[in-house]
């Protein structure tokens, strides 16, 4: 999400922020640049830093990303192991 999308969203929610306030807000929650932030950063910002449930969900999401793609060639199997 970029800074202008965040600005429009907060305005629609009735909480307008200046450009400097938005940059500060993004800098507090973002793990990357000052102009954009990720979905997990967005969740952290919206739900607050004290949400233990959010931290567990984000931890499992990160773990699942690590194990999504196997690396290297598939393991060799003997003929007796085939179905």
**Residue range 57-76, pLDDT digits in tens:** 677 777 777 666 666 777 78
pLDDT tens, residue by residue, 40-53 = 777 777 776 666 66
pLDDT band of 25, cuts 50, 70, 90: confident
Alpha helices in 1-83, H assignment, sequence order: 3-12, 19-29, 39-47, 52-66
Global pTM reads 0.49
3-state secondary structure of 75: coil
Report CA-CA distances (Å) from 76 to 4, 30, 51, 68.
52, 43, 44, 20
Q: At what angle do helices 39-47 and 52-66 cross, to 10 degrees?
A: 170
Q: How far apart are CA 83 and CA 32, in angstroms?
A: 47
Q: How far apart are CA 32 and CA 38, in angstroms?
A: 8
Domains annotated for the chain, with CATH where assigned, are 3-58 (1.10.238.10)
């Amino acid at each position: 999400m970029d800074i202008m999308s965040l600005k429009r969203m907060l305005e629609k929610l009735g909480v307008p922020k200046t450009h400097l306030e938005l940059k500060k807000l993004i800098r507090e929650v973002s793990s990357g640049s000052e102009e954009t932030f990720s979905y997990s950063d967005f969740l952290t910002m919206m739900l607050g830093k004290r949400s233990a449930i959010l931290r567990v969900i984000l931890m499992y999401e990160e773990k699942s990303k690590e194990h999504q793609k196997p690396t290297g060639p598939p393991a060799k199997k003997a003929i007796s192991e085939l179905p």
